[in-house]
Amino acid sequence: MIVYISIDNSDDKLSQKKWSNFWKVIDQLVRTGVDEIHGCWLSEPSSEFQNACWCVEFNSHRAGILKNMLSTYARQYNQDSIAWAEVENTEFI
């Protein structure tokens, strides 16, 4: 299973320090909970928006556990949600 996991602070609910902590917690969770990380991207430093995205691969039986943990951290950091986008079909062209 390939999934894109995205977080943001575009509504400025988090101070810079809290955003940094939120990112570190999610990064550690993602890195310990998946089999392969295909990439991790962050918004440009000069952007008015703070965003992060990971492209990961793992066995689908762990999806529920990872989703629950992400949801817990979203609430803990006063975030409305964390985006979870499953890749259903990969085409090599």
Q: Can you give the residue ranges of every domain in the chain?
A: 2-87
What is the domain class of 2-87 according to CATH? alpha beta
Tell me how far apart the alpha carbons of residues 56 and 44 are, in angstroms, rounded to a whole number. Answer: 21
> Does the pLDDT of residue 75 top 90, yes or no?
yes
Q: Alpha-carbon Rg of the chain, whole angstroms? A: 13
Tell me the mean pLDDT in the region 54-61.
92
- Quote the pLDDT of residue 45: 87
Tokens of 20: 């940094």
Instruction: Give pLDDT, residue 33.
Output: 83
What's the confidence (pLDDT) of residue 89? 86
